[in-house]
Amino acid sequence: MAIASPVDYAGPITSGQRRLSCFPVHSCNHLRCNAYEKKSRTSDQLVIRAISVDRPQLDFSIPDWKNLFQEDFDRRFSLPHLTDVIHLEPRPTTFSLKSRTPLENGSGPFDESWNGYVNDDDRALLKVIKFASPTSAGADCIDPDCSWVEQWVHRAGPRKQIYFEPQSVKAGIVTCGGLCPGLNDVIRQIVLTLEKYGVKNIVGIQHGFRGFFEDHLSEVPLNRHVVQNINLSGGSFLGVSRGGASVSDIVDSIQARRLDMLFVLGGNGTHAGANAIHEECRKRKLKVSIVGVPKTIDNDILLMDKTFGFDTAVEAAQRAINSAYIEAHSAFHGIGLVKLMGRSSGFITMHASLSSGQVDICLIPEVPFTLDGPNGVLRHLEHLIDTKGFALICIAEGAGQEYLQKSNATDASGNMVLSDIGAHLQQKIKSHFNEIGVHSDVKYIDPTYMLRAVRANASDAILCTVLGQNAVHGAFAGFSGITTGVCNTHNVYLPIPEVIKSTRFVDPNSRMWHRCLTSTGQPDFH
């Protein structure tokens, strides 16, 4: 058996079409292997079988696989820093929990006695992966002791050493994509925290990335007085937009404006943009820190426990669901139908259904369903009308798109424009009950924009406070190309590429989805 060393490996290990994601090492392309399979794993040794097109199968032993796994993880999750490409000397922080006297003017020495600073070596536990068997499926267990690895990520928070002179910093804030409750709370916290460091020059970029190159959109000066009450209303004080991102133009504009820090509030698309801006700044060796704050009511950002705005959207959905319930319950053979946001992830719909407790049928993009036939949604509705006298359906906008005419249209950001599954379902229900000669009264409620235009609820407001403050600490610590979030209950910094590898979806095998099914009592619709 060959002994493999880490240098032998580059590229993903795949077994047939499947990527063996929980492996520490990567395939040896130079051997032209076209498939790999895990053969065995003990806590000391991993054996993989390389299946090559032009040579016999070869078994590789990887003795130190746990360390390799951890090294690989640590490398991926190490935070990009300005000093990776520019020589910079750190300086003591000016951030302090204690209030300063007006004479100190925000730039005096920090309070040594406060021990809340975070060291660069501090880590928070993202997860512990426990391998109970050599294959992820749990079959043919070879390792009775179980192998486990831990994944640690960087703690967020203020550092004792910073890489900017606050008095000379110009910081920008931009909000991109769709609206989300809490945008104003995050803007506000960023401004307040920057001021706490002693930053005097803070500007808002209007209407997302467009504000960088559309001449009529001027910078908005921001300070404590300007942002003091903006959290009292929803929306974005700076405006949002989709589309219009030319990375090179944006970085030209960042240089022309002399921005030292840019805080980018947005979802998957925005973070892809923020990372591209960070890479371009690196290429030009600019001392500009780009820090993202994940925003989306869809809760579809990888690794995050939840994104800000999600809780509020779930709460706002309760009014719509409750109205649909009252309508359905009061009508003769009433059927309430509520469509909620969620382009490709059903988190809002699942959580709103769970939270309401009134929903009989919850439909999300991740779980296909049939409408017709003995196991279809329509048959189950018949049963509900028959037994309860009314029914309530909650559906995510991205669910059941296969039943609708595909338009291939995209919005300005390249996101697919969805057809209205709610209207389609309403029609289908009406004609189905007509056909079987049973009276039905279908009330369709589409509260879409009402969910995200509201102000943040209390728990989101607190989350926004933490995120906004940590974003500023991250920028002052000299990181760039990072984002911040709550992961496994800890406040952490993550490199942007790790959170935009894919959209986060509801796992149909998860306990949460099964809790939802238990709550609704719905059958499998296939």
Ligand X SMILES: Nc1ncnc2c1ncn2[C@@H]1O[C@H](COP(=O)(O)OP(=O)(O)O)[C@@H](O)[C@H]1O
Ligand Y SMILES: O=P(O)(O)OC[C@H]1O[C@](O)(COP(=O)(O)O)[C@@H](O)[C@@H]1O
**Which residues make up the interface to ligand X (CB under 6 A)?**
176-178, 208-209, 242-245, 266-270, 272-273, 276, 296, 413, 415
Query: Which residue number places its CB atom closest to ligand Y?
Result: 178
Which lies closer to Mg ion via its Cβ, residue 269 or residue 336?
269
| Torsional class of 52: left (φ above 0), alpha (ψ -120 to 50), beta (otherwise) | beta
The interface partner of residue 342, options being Mg ion, ligand X, ligand Y, none and the CB cut-off 5 to 8 Å by kind, is ligand Y
- Find the binding residues for Mg ion in span 248-287 (CB under 5 A): 267-269
The interface partner of residue 74, options being Mg ion, ligand X, ligand Y, none and the CB cut-off 5 to 8 Å by kind, is none
343 and 418 in contact (C-beta within 8 Å)? yes
| Torsional class of 42: left (φ above 0), alpha (ψ -120 to 50), beta (otherwise) | beta
Which lies closer to ligand Y via its Cβ, residue 241 or residue 358?
241
Residue 290 CA to residue 172 CA, distance in Å, equals 10
518 and 509 in contact (C-beta within 8 Å)? no
Phi, psi of 375 (to 5 degrees): -105, 10
The interface partner of residue 400, options being ligand X, ligand Y, Mg ion, none and the CB cut-off 5 to 8 Å by kind, is none
Residue 80 is encoded by which pair of tokens? 């990009």
270 known ligand binder: yes
Which neighbouring-strand residues pair with 60?
2, 48
State the minimum distance, in angstroms, from the CB of residue 504 to ligand Y. Answer: 12
242 known ligand binder: yes
Residue 240 CA to residue 500 CA, distance in Å, equals 20
State the minimum distance, in angstroms, from the CB of residue 178 to ligand X. Answer: 6
The interface partner of residue 149, options being Mg ion, ligand X, ligand Y, none and the CB cut-off 5 to 8 Å by kind, is none
Catalytic residue among 8, 185, 260, 298: 298
350 known ligand binder: no
- In 3D space, the residue among 133, 145, 147, 144 whose CA is nearest the CA of residue 39 turns out to be 133
State the minimum distance, in angstroms, from the CB of residue 296 to ligand X. Answer: 5
Residue 200 CA to residue 196 CA, distance in Å, equals 10
State the minimum distance, in angstroms, from the CB of residue 300 to Mg ion. Answer: 7
State the minimum distance, in angstroms, from the CB of residue 244 to ligand X. Answer: 6
**Which positions lie near ligand Y, rule CB under 6 A?**
177-178, 267, 269, 296-298, 341-343, 397, 411, 452
Residue 280 CA to residue 272 CA, distance in Å, equals 12
Which lies closer to ligand Y via its Cβ, residue 24 or residue 398?
398
CA–chain centroid gap for 73, Å, is 19
> Is 305 an annotated catalytic residue?
no
Residue 198 interacting with Mg ion (CB under 5 A): no
Q: Which residues of 399-418 are buried (b: 16+ CB within 10 A; e: fewer)?
A: bbbeeeeeeeeeeebebeeb
Residues noted as catalytic: 298
